[in-house]
A and B are shown apart, each in its own frame.
Chain A
């Protein structure tokens, strides 16, 4: 199942700089996208989401961009902080009545270097 792909397994960014995490999807029936952050031995923690009718959503240091024509979304974190070091998952939900399941990408491990 490769409907949601995060092609970079890891990313290293200097503290204070911008972190950009990318996610691609293949199913045009996805209409809602979420980013989760996961620390070791914890569950995924919700960060930010975007619906397919928008192209940008911002919450503090976190901004998600959606390019529907390219089936691509990205998460921008600025400025990056050491506490942002974690695995980041993008997830997508299908747009049909009663659909609730989230389809996850493989995750990208973000390391913020001091």
Chain B
């Protein structure tokens, strides 16, 4: 069964450093998403991406964040200058067509620890 994959599973970084989290969405899916879950809190939407453009983003997704589809398979989330409060599980998701009734399928997550 096709699945969303993410690398690395765990990333430790120093505050102020840049990190790139990588995702390979399901191959025939056209919409891609990033969510995060801070320990003990809800899963929160960050951004959705379609046709090489951001289609929706939350207030959390400020200028320190960016997303990119550098090639035909990868989807990345870059955090330019990490802060302590960026420590969280980051989940990538993908869906087939993004319209009503579409289901988002999630990857296993990357645990980001900012020291």
Chain A residues proximal to chain B, CB less than 8 Å: 1, 31-32, 34, 36, 41-46, 49, 51, 89, 91, 95, 98-107
Contact = CB atoms under 8 A, between A and B. Distances in A.
B58 A101 contact: yes
A43 B100 contact: no
B109 A42 contact: yes
A49 B103 contact: yes
Interface of B: 4, 6, 31, 33, 35, 41-45, 48, 55-56, 58, 91, 93, 95, 98, 100-109
Contacts of B109: 41-43
Nearest to A94: B56
Contacts of A98: 55-56
A51 B41 CA distance: 26
Contact of A100 (B4, B6, B31, B91): B31
28 contacts: A31-B100, A32-B100, A34-B104, A42-B109, A43-B4, A43-B106, A43-B108, A43-B109, A44-B106, A45-B106, A46-B106, A89-B43, A95-B100, A98-B55, A99-B56, A100-B56, A100-B95, A100-B98, A100-B102, A100-B104, A101-B33, A101-B45, A101-B48, A101-B56, A102-B43, A103-B45, A104-B42, A107-B42
